[in-house]
Protein backbone atom coordinates (compact mmCIF):
# COMPACT_ATOMS: atom_id res chain seq x y z
CA UNK A 1 0.00 0.00 0.00
CA UNK A 2 1.41 3.39 -1.02
CA UNK A 3 2.15 6.14 1.47
CA UNK A 4 -0.41 8.97 1.68
CA UNK A 5 0.37 12.25 -0.05
CA UNK A 6 0.15 14.13 3.27
CA UNK A 7 2.27 12.38 5.88
CA UNK A 8 1.81 14.44 9.03
CA UNK A 9 -0.28 17.24 10.49
CA UNK A 10 2.99 19.20 10.30
CA UNK A 11 3.24 18.48 6.55
CA UNK A 12 2.36 22.10 5.84
CA UNK A 13 4.06 25.48 5.71
CA UNK A 14 5.11 27.19 8.93
CA UNK A 15 3.20 30.40 8.18
CA UNK A 16 -0.05 28.45 8.51
CA UNK A 17 0.83 27.60 12.12
CA UNK A 18 2.01 31.10 12.96
CA UNK A 19 -1.12 32.66 11.47
CA UNK A 20 -3.34 30.09 13.16
CA UNK A 21 -1.86 31.07 16.52
CA UNK A 22 -2.53 34.73 15.70
CA UNK A 23 -6.13 34.03 14.71
CA UNK A 24 -6.71 32.06 17.91
CA UNK A 25 -5.36 34.91 20.04
CA UNK A 26 -7.03 37.84 18.31
CA UNK A 27 -9.91 36.68 16.08
CA UNK A 28 -11.20 33.43 17.50
CA UNK A 29 -14.81 34.00 16.37
CA UNK A 30 -14.05 34.86 12.74
CA UNK A 31 -15.68 32.69 10.06
CA UNK A 32 -13.84 32.04 6.80
CA UNK A 33 -14.51 30.92 3.25
CA UNK A 34 -11.78 29.84 0.81
CA UNK A 35 -12.05 29.09 -2.92
CA UNK A 36 -9.80 27.12 -5.28
CA UNK A 37 -8.64 28.58 -8.60
CA UNK A 38 -6.85 26.78 -11.40
CA UNK A 39 -4.95 29.62 -13.07
CA UNK A 40 -3.75 27.57 -16.03
CA UNK A 41 -6.07 24.77 -17.09
CA UNK A 42 -3.72 22.20 -18.59
CA UNK A 43 -5.53 18.88 -18.38
CA UNK A 44 -8.97 17.49 -17.70
CA UNK A 45 -9.70 16.12 -14.26
CA UNK A 46 -11.09 12.61 -14.60
CA UNK A 47 -13.55 10.83 -12.31
CA UNK A 48 -10.69 8.58 -11.17
CA UNK A 49 -8.53 11.57 -10.24
CA UNK A 50 -11.45 13.15 -8.41
CA UNK A 51 -12.02 9.96 -6.40
CA UNK A 52 -8.33 9.77 -5.45
CA UNK A 53 -8.35 13.40 -4.37
CA UNK A 54 -11.57 13.03 -2.39
CA UNK A 55 -10.21 9.92 -0.67
CA UNK A 56 -7.04 11.84 0.23
CA UNK A 57 -9.11 14.54 1.91
CA UNK A 58 -10.99 11.95 3.95
CA UNK A 59 -7.70 10.32 5.03
CA UNK A 60 -6.46 13.60 6.51
CA UNK A 61 -8.92 13.37 9.41
CA UNK A 62 -6.66 10.70 10.94
CA UNK A 63 -3.58 12.95 11.13
CA UNK A 64 -2.46 13.91 14.63
CA UNK A 65 0.71 15.40 16.06
CA UNK A 66 2.99 12.83 17.65
CA UNK A 67 4.92 13.19 20.90
CA UNK A 68 8.30 13.69 19.21
CA UNK A 69 6.79 16.30 16.87
CA UNK A 70 5.31 18.17 19.80
CA UNK A 71 8.60 18.17 21.72
CA UNK A 72 10.57 19.30 18.67
CA UNK A 73 8.05 22.04 17.83
CA UNK A 74 8.28 23.50 21.33
CA UNK A 75 12.09 23.50 21.16
CA UNK A 76 12.56 24.73 17.60
CA UNK A 77 9.72 27.28 17.53
CA UNK A 78 9.74 29.11 20.88
CA UNK A 79 7.42 31.77 19.42
CA UNK A 80 4.67 29.11 19.38
CA UNK A 81 3.14 29.32 22.84
CA UNK A 82 2.37 26.27 25.00
CA UNK A 83 -1.37 26.84 24.79
CA UNK A 84 -1.19 26.92 20.99
CA UNK A 85 0.88 23.73 20.82
CA UNK A 86 -1.73 22.11 23.08
CA UNK A 87 -4.45 23.28 20.65
CA UNK A 88 -2.54 21.85 17.69
CA UNK A 89 -2.02 18.56 19.54
CA UNK A 90 -5.79 18.20 19.75
CA UNK A 91 -6.54 19.49 16.25
CA UNK A 92 -8.06 17.11 13.70
CA UNK A 93 -8.95 17.93 10.10
CA UNK A 94 -12.71 17.82 9.51
CA UNK A 95 -13.45 16.82 5.87
CA UNK A 96 -16.96 18.26 6.24
CA UNK A 97 -15.32 21.71 6.07
CA UNK A 98 -14.30 20.97 2.46
CA UNK A 99 -16.82 20.91 -0.37
CA UNK A 100 -15.44 19.48 -3.61
CA UNK A 101 -17.05 18.42 -6.87
CA UNK A 102 -16.08 17.58 -10.44
CA UNK A 103 -17.78 19.78 -13.07
CA UNK A 104 -16.93 19.56 -16.79
CA UNK A 105 -13.46 18.21 -16.10
CA UNK A 106 -12.58 20.83 -13.50
CA UNK A 107 -12.32 20.64 -9.73
CA UNK A 108 -14.59 23.01 -7.81
CA UNK A 109 -13.47 23.37 -4.21
CA UNK A 110 -14.66 25.49 -1.31
CA UNK A 111 -13.69 25.53 2.38
CA UNK A 112 -15.98 26.93 5.08
CA UNK A 113 -15.76 27.16 8.86
CA UNK A 114 -14.05 28.95 11.75
CA UNK A 115 -10.96 30.76 10.51
CA UNK A 116 -8.79 29.23 13.23
CA UNK A 117 -9.69 25.77 11.93
CA UNK A 118 -9.99 26.20 8.18
CA UNK A 119 -6.70 28.10 7.92
CA UNK A 120 -4.81 24.78 7.91
CA UNK A 121 -6.49 23.30 4.82
CA UNK A 122 -4.93 25.39 2.03
CA UNK A 123 -1.35 24.09 1.84
CA UNK A 124 -1.94 20.33 2.19
CA UNK A 125 -4.93 20.45 -0.17
CA UNK A 126 -2.80 22.08 -2.86
CA UNK A 127 -0.05 19.51 -2.32
CA UNK A 128 -2.68 16.75 -2.50
CA UNK A 129 -4.13 18.18 -5.73
CA UNK A 130 -0.70 18.29 -7.34
CA UNK A 131 0.17 14.80 -6.12
CA UNK A 132 -3.10 13.43 -7.51
CA UNK A 133 -2.69 15.15 -10.87
CA UNK A 134 0.80 13.76 -11.42
CA UNK A 135 -0.12 10.27 -10.27
CA UNK A 136 -3.36 9.87 -12.20
CA UNK A 137 -3.54 12.37 -15.09
CA UNK A 138 0.01 13.37 -16.08
CA UNK A 139 1.80 10.22 -14.96
CA UNK A 140 4.39 9.94 -17.76
CA UNK A 141 7.43 11.15 -15.82
CA UNK A 142 10.08 9.82 -13.47
CA UNK A 143 12.63 11.07 -10.94
CA UNK A 144 15.72 10.19 -12.97
CA UNK A 145 18.41 12.82 -12.57
CA UNK A 146 16.62 14.79 -9.86
CA UNK A 147 19.38 14.37 -7.27
CA UNK A 148 21.99 15.65 -9.74
CA UNK A 149 19.77 18.62 -10.60
CA UNK A 150 19.57 19.60 -6.94
CA UNK A 151 23.34 19.42 -6.51
CA UNK A 152 23.77 21.59 -9.62
CA UNK A 153 21.32 24.14 -8.23
CA UNK A 154 23.24 24.25 -4.95
CA UNK A 155 26.36 25.25 -6.93
CA UNK A 156 24.50 28.03 -8.78
CA UNK A 157 23.21 29.30 -5.43
CA UNK A 158 26.66 29.38 -3.85
CA UNK A 159 26.94 32.56 -1.81
CA UNK A 160 23.15 32.90 -1.49
CA UNK A 161 21.04 32.33 1.60
CA UNK A 162 17.98 30.33 0.58
CA UNK A 163 15.19 28.04 1.77
CA UNK A 164 12.82 25.50 0.26
CA UNK A 165 9.31 26.96 -0.16
CA UNK A 166 7.99 24.12 -2.31
CA UNK A 167 5.20 22.41 -0.37
CA UNK A 168 2.12 23.77 -2.12
CA UNK A 169 3.01 22.83 -5.69
CA UNK A 170 5.40 19.91 -5.17
CA UNK A 171 5.09 17.03 -7.60
CA UNK A 172 4.93 14.56 -4.73
CA UNK A 173 6.07 14.26 -1.13
CA UNK A 174 9.27 12.46 -2.17
CA UNK A 175 10.32 15.31 -4.46
CA UNK A 176 10.33 17.80 -1.58
CA UNK A 177 11.94 15.42 0.89
CA UNK A 178 14.76 14.84 -1.61
CA UNK A 179 15.31 18.60 -1.96
CA UNK A 180 15.65 19.18 1.78
CA UNK A 181 17.88 16.15 2.32
CA UNK A 182 20.31 16.95 -0.50
CA UNK A 183 20.51 20.69 0.12
CA UNK A 184 21.26 20.07 3.79
CA UNK A 185 24.19 17.90 2.75
CA UNK A 186 25.57 19.96 -0.14
CA UNK A 187 24.83 23.65 0.44
CA UNK A 188 26.12 25.96 3.18
CA UNK A 189 23.59 28.60 2.11
CA UNK A 190 20.58 26.37 2.71
CA UNK A 191 18.90 27.63 5.88
CA UNK A 192 15.77 25.48 6.06
CA UNK A 193 12.34 24.74 4.68
CA UNK A 194 8.84 26.13 4.97
CA UNK A 195 7.60 22.56 5.49
CA UNK A 196 7.40 21.93 9.24
CA UNK A 197 7.29 18.13 8.96
CA UNK A 198 10.41 18.00 6.78
CA UNK A 199 12.17 20.48 9.05
CA UNK A 200 11.49 18.05 11.90
CA UNK A 201 12.49 15.01 9.86
CA UNK A 202 15.84 16.49 8.81
CA UNK A 203 16.39 18.77 11.82
CA UNK A 204 16.63 21.99 9.86
CA UNK A 205 15.05 25.36 10.58
CA UNK A 206 11.34 25.79 9.74
CA UNK A 207 10.98 29.06 7.82
CA UNK A 208 7.97 31.39 7.60
CA UNK A 209 6.02 34.31 8.99
CA UNK A 210 2.72 35.48 7.45
CA UNK A 211 0.82 35.03 4.19
CA UNK A 212 -1.51 37.32 2.25
CA UNK A 213 -4.60 36.07 4.06
CA UNK A 214 -3.43 37.65 7.34
CA UNK A 215 -3.53 41.08 5.72
CA UNK A 216 -6.62 40.30 3.64
CA UNK A 217 -8.45 39.29 6.80
CA UNK A 218 -7.60 42.57 8.50
CA UNK A 219 -9.20 44.46 5.63
CA UNK A 220 -12.48 43.18 7.12
CA UNK A 221 -11.54 43.07 10.80
CA UNK A 222 -9.88 46.51 10.90
CA UNK A 223 -9.77 48.65 7.76
CA UNK A 224 -9.47 48.14 4.01
CA UNK A 225 -7.39 51.25 3.30
CA UNK A 226 -4.98 50.60 6.17
CA UNK A 227 -5.15 46.80 6.30
CA UNK A 228 -1.36 46.53 6.00
CA UNK A 229 -0.77 48.72 9.05
CA UNK A 230 -3.36 47.03 11.24
CA UNK A 231 -2.23 43.55 10.21
CA UNK A 232 1.41 44.34 11.03
CA UNK A 233 0.46 45.90 14.35
CA UNK A 234 -1.68 42.87 15.21
CA UNK A 235 1.25 40.59 14.33
CA UNK A 236 3.39 42.42 16.86
CA UNK A 237 0.73 41.91 19.55
CA UNK A 238 1.18 38.18 19.07
CA UNK A 239 4.92 37.96 18.35
CA UNK A 240 6.47 41.04 19.96
CA UNK A 241 9.24 41.59 17.43
CA UNK A 242 9.80 37.94 16.50
CA UNK A 243 9.07 36.62 12.98
CA UNK A 244 9.66 40.14 11.69
CA UNK A 245 9.42 39.86 7.91
CA UNK A 246 6.52 41.87 6.46
CA UNK A 247 4.71 40.79 3.29
CA UNK A 248 4.43 43.75 0.92
CA UNK A 249 2.15 43.14 -2.05
CA UNK A 250 -1.34 42.23 -0.79
CA UNK A 251 -2.77 45.51 -2.12
CA UNK A 252 0.31 46.62 -4.06
CA UNK A 253 3.61 47.86 -2.71
CA UNK A 254 2.63 51.54 -2.88
CA UNK A 255 -0.21 50.88 -0.41
CA UNK A 256 2.16 48.85 1.75
CA UNK A 257 4.86 51.49 2.03
CA UNK A 258 2.26 54.16 2.74
CA UNK A 259 1.33 52.16 5.86
CA UNK A 260 4.84 50.96 6.75
CA UNK A 261 5.54 53.90 9.02
CA UNK A 262 8.96 54.63 10.61
CA UNK A 263 8.17 52.71 13.79
CA UNK A 264 7.11 49.58 11.88
CA UNK A 265 10.01 49.93 9.45
CA UNK A 266 12.45 49.94 12.36
CA UNK A 267 10.68 47.15 14.23
CA UNK A 268 10.46 44.68 11.36
CA UNK A 269 13.63 42.89 10.23
CA UNK A 270 12.75 43.24 6.58
CA UNK A 271 10.19 42.66 3.86
CA UNK A 272 9.12 39.84 1.55
CA UNK A 273 8.69 40.30 -2.21
CA UNK A 274 6.06 38.11 -3.89
CA UNK A 275 5.01 39.88 -7.11
CA UNK A 276 6.25 42.47 -9.60
CA UNK A 277 9.79 43.10 -10.86
CA UNK A 278 12.13 42.02 -8.02
CA UNK A 279 15.07 44.15 -9.21
CA UNK A 280 12.97 47.33 -9.21
CA UNK A 281 11.51 46.29 -5.85
CA UNK A 282 14.98 45.99 -4.32
CA UNK A 283 15.82 49.50 -5.44
CA UNK A 284 12.54 50.81 -4.05
CA UNK A 285 13.18 49.17 -0.67
CA UNK A 286 16.70 50.57 -0.44
CA UNK A 287 15.42 54.09 -1.21
CA UNK A 288 12.61 53.67 1.33
CA UNK A 289 14.98 52.80 4.18
CA UNK A 290 17.46 55.49 3.18
CA UNK A 291 14.72 58.11 3.18
CA UNK A 292 13.86 57.11 6.76
CA UNK A 293 17.56 57.25 7.70
CA UNK A 294 17.56 53.52 8.40
CA UNK A 295 20.73 51.67 7.42
CA UNK A 296 19.60 49.32 4.65
CA UNK A 297 22.45 46.97 5.54
CA UNK A 298 20.56 46.10 8.74
CA UNK A 299 17.47 44.96 6.81
CA UNK A 300 16.69 41.95 4.61
CA UNK A 301 14.57 41.39 1.53
CA UNK A 302 13.15 37.88 1.20
CA UNK A 303 12.40 37.11 -2.45
CA UNK A 304 9.81 34.39 -3.06
CA UNK A 305 8.11 34.96 -6.43
CA UNK A 306 8.69 32.43 -9.20
CA UNK A 307 12.41 32.10 -8.56
CA UNK A 308 15.00 29.80 -10.05
CA UNK A 309 18.64 29.55 -8.93
CA UNK A 310 19.99 31.74 -11.75
CA UNK A 311 17.53 34.55 -11.02
CA UNK A 312 18.29 34.31 -7.30
CA UNK A 313 22.03 34.61 -7.96
CA UNK A 314 21.43 37.71 -10.12
CA UNK A 315 19.25 39.26 -7.42
CA UNK A 316 21.94 38.58 -4.82
CA UNK A 317 24.47 40.50 -6.92
CA UNK A 318 21.99 43.36 -7.37
CA UNK A 319 21.26 43.58 -3.64
CA UNK A 320 24.97 43.48 -2.82
CA UNK A 321 25.44 46.50 -5.08
CA UNK A 322 22.54 48.29 -3.36
CA UNK A 323 23.90 47.48 0.09
CA UNK A 324 20.96 45.49 1.43
CA UNK A 325 20.81 41.89 2.65
CA UNK A 326 18.65 39.33 0.86
CA UNK A 327 17.52 35.73 1.03
CA UNK A 328 15.41 33.52 -1.18
CA UNK A 329 12.47 31.16 -0.84
CA UNK A 330 12.31 28.92 -3.91
CA UNK A 331 9.33 26.66 -4.46
CA UNK A 332 8.22 25.11 -7.75
CA UNK A 333 11.69 25.16 -9.31
CA UNK A 334 12.94 23.01 -6.44
CA UNK A 335 10.08 20.55 -5.91
CA UNK A 336 8.37 20.31 -9.32
CA UNK A 337 11.14 20.60 -11.91
CA UNK A 338 10.42 17.48 -13.95
CA UNK A 339 10.07 18.70 -17.53
CA UNK A 340 6.29 18.76 -17.75
CA UNK A 341 4.69 21.91 -16.35
CA UNK A 342 3.75 22.21 -12.70
CA UNK A 343 0.17 23.16 -11.95
CA UNK A 344 -0.55 26.85 -11.40
CA UNK A 345 -3.16 26.58 -8.67
CA UNK A 346 -4.16 28.65 -5.66
CA UNK A 347 -6.56 28.44 -2.75
CA UNK A 348 -7.31 31.92 -1.43
CA UNK A 349 -9.36 33.37 1.38
CA UNK A 350 -12.55 34.64 -0.26
CA UNK A 351 -14.69 35.91 2.62
CA UNK A 352 -14.31 36.65 6.30
CA UNK A 353 -17.46 36.95 8.39
CA UNK A 354 -19.42 36.94 5.13
CA UNK A 355 -17.58 39.99 3.73
CA UNK A 356 -15.53 39.55 0.53
CA UNK A 357 -11.76 39.95 0.72
CA UNK A 358 -9.39 40.50 -2.20
CA UNK A 359 -5.73 40.45 -3.13
CA UNK A 360 -4.39 42.86 -5.73
CA UNK A 361 -0.57 42.37 -5.78
CA UNK A 362 1.82 44.03 -8.22
CA UNK A 363 0.97 41.57 -11.01
CA UNK A 364 -2.46 42.24 -12.50
CA UNK A 365 -2.87 38.55 -13.25
CA UNK A 366 -2.59 37.66 -9.58
CA UNK A 367 -5.59 39.72 -8.44
CA UNK A 368 -8.14 37.47 -6.76
CA UNK A 369 -11.54 37.93 -5.18
CA UNK A 370 -15.13 38.91 -5.88
CA UNK A 371 -15.13 41.21 -8.96
CA UNK A 372 -17.12 43.97 -7.23
CA UNK A 373 -14.82 43.81 -4.20
CA UNK A 374 -11.77 43.97 -6.48
CA UNK A 375 -13.17 47.14 -8.09
CA UNK A 376 -13.65 48.71 -4.66
CA UNK A 377 -10.09 47.79 -3.68
CA UNK A 378 -8.69 49.22 -6.92
CA UNK A 379 -10.63 52.44 -6.34
CA UNK A 380 -9.35 52.56 -2.73
CA UNK A 381 -5.68 51.90 -3.46
CA UNK A 382 -5.18 52.83 -7.12
CA UNK A 383 -7.83 55.49 -7.67
CA UNK A 384 -9.39 53.51 -10.52
CA UNK A 385 -13.03 54.47 -11.23
CA UNK A 386 -15.77 52.22 -9.92
Residue 160: what pLDDT?
98
The pLDDT tens digits for 329-359 are 999 999 999 989 999 999 999 999 999 999 9
Alpha carbon 177 to chain centroid distance?
18
If pLDDT is split at 50, 70 and 90, which confidence band does 5 have? very high
Residue 40: what pLDDT?
76
The pLDDT tens digits for 196-226 are 999 999 999 999 999 999 999 999 999 999 9
Query: In the predicted model, is pLDDT for residue 140 greater than 60?
Result: yes
**In whole angstroms, what is the distance from residue 307 CA to residue 165 CA?**
10
State the average pLDDT over residues 43-59: 94
Residue 3: what pLDDT?
87
Query: In the predicted model, is pLDDT for residue 50 greater than 80?
Result: yes
Strand partners, 110: 35, 99
Q: What is the DSSP letter of 252?
A: -
Query: In the predicted model, is pLDDT for residue 56 greater than 60?
Result: yes
Look at strands 162-164 and 325-330 and give their pairing: parallel
* DSSP labels, 16-52: HHHHHHHHHHH-TT-EEEEEEEESS--SPPPHHHHHH
If pLDDT is split at 50, 70 and 90, which confidence band does 366 have? confident
Query: In the predicted model, is pLDDT for residue 1 greater than 60?
Result: no
Angle between helices 14-26 and 227-239 (to 10 degrees): 90
Q: Are 225 and 380 in contact (CB under 8 A)?
A: yes
**In whole angstroms, what is the distance from residue 4 CA to residue 1 CA?**
9
The pLDDT tens digits for 311-333 are 999 999 999 999 999 999 999 99
Residue 43: what pLDDT?
66
Based on C-alpha coordinates, what's the Rg of the chain? 20
**In whole angstroms, what is the distance from residue 4 CA to residue 173 CA?**
9
What pTM was estimated for this model as a whole?
Answer: 0.97
Residue 336 CB contacts under 8 Å (≥ 6 apart), including other chains: 130, 166, 169, 170, 171, 175, 342
Share of the chain above pLDDT 70, in %: 99
C-alpha torsion 256→262→264→267, nearest 10: 140
- Provide the CB-side half-sphere exposure for 45 (13 A, CA): 24
Residue 361: what pLDDT?
85
State the average pLDDT over residues 105-128: 97
State the average pLDDT over residues 6-21: 98
State the average pLDDT over residues 91-115: 97
Amino acid sequence: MSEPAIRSILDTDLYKLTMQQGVLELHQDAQAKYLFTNRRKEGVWTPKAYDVFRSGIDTMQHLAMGKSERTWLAQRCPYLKPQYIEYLSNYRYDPDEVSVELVDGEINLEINGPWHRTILWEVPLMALLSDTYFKVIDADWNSDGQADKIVTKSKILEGCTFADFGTRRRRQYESQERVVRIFKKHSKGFVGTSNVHLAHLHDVLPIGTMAHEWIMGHSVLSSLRHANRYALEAWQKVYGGLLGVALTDTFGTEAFFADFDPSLARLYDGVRHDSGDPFIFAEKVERFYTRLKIDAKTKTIVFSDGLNPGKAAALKKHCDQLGIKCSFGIGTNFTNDFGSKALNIVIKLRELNGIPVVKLSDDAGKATGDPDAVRVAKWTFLGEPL
